[in-house]
Amino acid sequence: MSKLLYREDAFRKVWKTEIEDTYEKNGLYFVSLKETAFYPGGGGQPADQGTIAELDVRAVESKEGVPYYGLESKVEGEVDCQIDWAYRFDLMQQHTGQHLLSAAFRLVSGRETIGFHLGKEDVTIDLLGDKLTEDELTSVEQKVNELIYEDRLITSYYVTAAELAELPVVKQPHVTEDVRIVEIDGVEYNPCGGTHTASTGQIGMIKILKTEKQKQGQRIYFQCGKRALETTREMFSIMDQVAGQFQTSSKDVLPRLKKQSTDLQSAVKRAEELEKQLEELELRELIQTEASMVVRSYEGKNVKALQRMAAKLLEAGKDFVMLSDQQVQKLVVSHNLEDFHCGNLFSSSLSEFGGKGGGSVRTAQASFQRREDLERFMRFLQEHYQSIV
């Protein structure tokens, strides 16, 4: 059985030990160590990364309760081991931060944590209860960071079943023997086997990022320590760039954005009005022509506009309407003819012209990859119309 050094000292980074057992699996050589400071993963915390005999640990498995580490080469005897400390300390900050944030939610609003996930970017907890208010989130974030500023001592130790019964633990553990308690001074007693910082101050900071509704409550996304610092730095950098684009200060960005949004909405509305006026002029011109067939190509007119114009031209007495947008190779065809199924013709002919589409008896639409194919199909339709009238 390996001696688990991480339980005694979560800050142990390097050590010498001996290989006790080995086996090969899936191209890796798995070894067990006489002493190990590698946390094997569990309780929501991922396994540590690091090296054994300067070989990267590629995988971790448990065999009869003993952790085995997958290496690319076989090693024997005494070995030097090293924790990837940047990775480990990040996990310690996130995991301890989760304990503290869950405690803050209990203290501020009485909400219980029912789920925890520690990802590569964000950390989440799932809480029971209805939607969180902005005031509640602000109060919890303020409280949890105050607990960080107070730099409260964090200790871990094992208790007997009798001792456990006397402690106001956050939750009852799944085991009754060798129960490890992580205590945050004056805050909570939490059964946990993970690695944690030595005090709340080492968490650095906690930032709540967003919330999502779940079936049983709310999911909170947050970051701790260096992750939170890097995200804050990135957000300030983005804000500075946006402020620079508006040639204003960061605090005045939101009013400027709101004004720009209002101006843009007004401009879009005006553009739609002008487009409608232009469409009415175009329709008036087309309706006044004596021809019963209308064929027109446009640049930058969407399919809905083409369909709307085609319907109005048919209402005005035209027999066959073919409108296209050459910019995106879209085609709309509508008609008032007898014994002519528009959709069937499209289905049977489009593939020969590299087009896709379909429709009903009276109307159909299609799209093409190339303008040349669109124009060829339009000529084909004109010839077909002339052959049936």
d(CA 389, CA 387): 6
Q: Which amino acid would we find at residue 367? A: S
d(CA 163, CA 8): 20
Instruction: Write out the chain's pLDDT in tens, 389 residues.
Output: 789 999 999 999 999 999 999 999 999 999 999 999 999 998 889 999 999 999 999 999 999 889 999 999 999 999 999 999 999 999 999 999 999 999 999 999 999 999 999 998 889 999 999 889 999 999 999 999 999 999 999 999 999 999 999 999 999 988 878 899 999 999 999 999 999 999 999 999 999 999 999 988 999 999 999 999 999 999 989 888 888 888 888 888 888 888 889 888 999 999 888 888 988 998 998 898 878 999 999 998 889 999 999 999 999 999 999 999 999 999 999 999 988 899 999 999 999 999 999 999 999 999 999 999 999 999 999 999 988 87
Place of tokens 């007495």: 317
Cβ 123 vs Cβ 168: under 8 Å: no
3-state secondary structure of 355: strand
As a CATH number, domain 289-388 is: 3.10.310.40
- How many angstroms separate the Cα of 330 from the Cα of each of 216, 227, 282, 316, 375? 47, 48, 19, 23, 11
As a CATH number, domain 3-83 is: 2.40.30.130
Phi, psi (degrees; rounded to nearest 5) at 63: -130, 110
CATH topology of domain 88-240: Threonyl-tRNA Synthetase; Chain A, domain 2 (3.30.980)
Q: For the chain, which residues make up each domain, given as ranges? A: 3-83, 88-240, 249-285, 289-388
